A and B are shown apart, each in its own frame.
Chain A
Amino acid sequence: MLSAILAHAPALQTVVPLIAAPLCVLFGRRHLAWFITLAASLISAFFAAYLLAQTLDGSIISYELGGWAPPLGIEYRIDAVNAFVLFIVASVGALVAFYARESIEQEIDPALHVYFYTAFLLCLTGLLGVTITGDAFNVFVFLEISSLSTYTLVALGAGRDQRALTAAYNYLIMGTIGATFFVIGIGFLYMLTGTLNMADLAERIAALGDNRTLRIAFVFIFVGIGLKLAMFPLHLWLPNAYSYAPSVVSVFLAATATKVAVYVMLRFLFTVFGFDYGFQAATLQTIVVPLAVIAMFASSIVAIFQSDLKRMLAYSSVAQIGYILLGISLLNKPGLTAGIIHLFNHAVIKGALFMAVGAFVYRIGSSRIEDLRGIGKQMPWMAAAFVAAGLGLIGVPLTAGFISKWYLIQATLDEGAWWLALLIVGSSLLAVIYVWRVVEAMYLAAPVQEAPVKKAPWSMIVPTWIMVLASLYFGINTELTSKAASTAADLLIQATQIEKAPETVPGAPAAGE
Chain B
Amino acid sequence: MHHHLILRVVSKMLIPPILLYALYVQFHGDFGPGGGFQAGVIFAVAFILYGIVFSLDHLRRAVPPHVVRRFVALGLLIYAGVGVANLLLGGNFLDYSTLAHDPKHGQHYGIILVELGVGITVAAVMISIFFAFASRPPTIKDTDW
Q: Which of A22, A24, A28, A65 contacts B92 (CB 8 A)?
A: A65
B96 interface residue, CB < 8 Å from A? yes
How does the 8 Å CB contact mask read for A46-84 relative to B, with 1 for contact and 0 for none?
Answer: 000000000000000001111100000000000000000
Please determine whether A11 and B93 come into contact, CB atoms closer than 8 angstroms. yes
CB closest residue in chain B, given A76:
B93
Task: Decide: A19 near B91, CB < 8 A? Known: A25-B69, A25-B72.
Answer: no
CB closest residue in chain A, given B121:
A22
A420 interface residue, CB < 8 Å from B? no
- CA of A12 to CA of B81 in the docked complex: distance in angstroms? 12
In the assembled complex, how far is the CB of residue A439 from the closest CB belonging to chain B, in whole angstroms? Answer: 45
Interface of A is mostly: helix
State which residues 37-87 of B face A: CB under 8 Å.
66, 69-70, 72-74, 76-77, 80-81, 83-84, 87
- CA of A183 to CA of B70 in the docked complex: distance in angstroms? 31
**Interface core residue of B66, B72, B74, B80 (most chain A CB under 10 Å):** B80
Specify which chain A residues have a CB less than 8 angstroms from the CB of B127 in the assembled complex: none
State which residues 267-316 of A face B: CB under 8 Å.
none
In the assembled complex, how far is the CB of residue A61 from the closest CB belonging to chain B, in whole angstroms? Answer: 13
Interface residues on A, range: 10 to 19
Specify which chain A residues have a CB less than 8 angstroms from the CB of B73 in the assembled complex: 21-26, 118
Specify which chain B residues have a CB less than 8 angstroms from the CB of A23 in the assembled complex: 73, 77
- CA of A65 to CA of B94 in the docked complex: distance in angstroms? 7
Specify which chain A residues have a CB less than 8 angstroms from the CB of B84 in the assembled complex: 15, 19
How does the 8 Å CB contact mask read for A117-154 relative to B, with 1 for contact and 0 for none?
Answer: 01000000000000000000000000000000000000
Interface residues on B, range: 20 to 34
Specify which chain B residues have a CB less than 8 angstroms from the CB of A29 in the assembled complex: none
In the assembled complex, how far is the CB of residue B16 from the closest CB belonging to chain A, in whole angstroms? Answer: 29
How does the 8 Å CB contact mask read for A398-434 relative to B, with 1 for contact and 0 for none?
Answer: 0000000000000000000000000000000000000
A39 interface residue, CB < 8 Å from B? no
Specify which chain B residues have a CB less than 8 angstroms from the CB of A66 in the assembled complex: 92-96
Please determine whether B92 and A67 come into contact, CB atoms closer than 8 angstroms. yes
Specify which chain B residues have a CB less than 8 angstroms from the CB of A18 in the assembled complex: 76, 80
Task: Decide: A15 near B80, CB < 8 A? Known: A8-B87, A22-B73.
Answer: yes
How does the 8 Å CB contact mask read for B11-47 relative to A, with 1 for contact and 0 for none?
Answer: 0000000000000000000000000000000000000
- CA of A67 to CA of B84 in the docked complex: distance in angstroms? 13
Specify which chain A residues have a CB less than 8 angstroms from the CB of B76 in the assembled complex: 18, 21-22
Please determine whether A67 and B80 come into contact, CB atoms closer than 8 angstroms. no
- CA of A24 to CA of B70 in the docked complex: distance in angstroms? 10
- CA of A152 to CA of B91 in the docked complex: distance in angstroms? 35
In the assembled complex, how far is the CB of residue B101 from the closest CB belonging to chain A, in whole angstroms? Answer: 16
Please determine whether B77 and A63 come into contact, CB atoms closer than 8 angstroms. no
- CA of A305 to CA of B34 in the docked complex: distance in angstroms? 57
Specify which chain A residues have a CB less than 8 angstroms from the CB of B92 in the assembled complex: 8, 11, 63-67
Specify which chain B residues have a CB less than 8 angstroms from the CB of A26 in the assembled complex: 70, 73-74, 77
Q: Which of A15, A24, A28, A63 contacts B83 (CB 8 A)?
A: A15
Top 6 nearest A-B pairs (CB, nearest first) are A22-B73, A67-B95, A11-B93, A25-B73, A66-B94, A22-B77
A-B contact pairs, 16 of them (CB 8 A): A8-B87, A8-B92, A15-B93, A19-B80, A19-B81, A19-B84, A21-B73, A22-B73, A22-B80, A25-B69, A25-B73, A65-B93, A66-B94, A67-B92, A67-B94, A67-B95
Chain B contacts to A: CB under 8 angstroms: 66, 69-70, 72-74, 76-77, 80-81, 83-84, 87, 91-97
Chain A contacts to B: CB under 8 angstroms: 8, 11-12, 15, 18-19, 21-26, 28, 63-67, 118
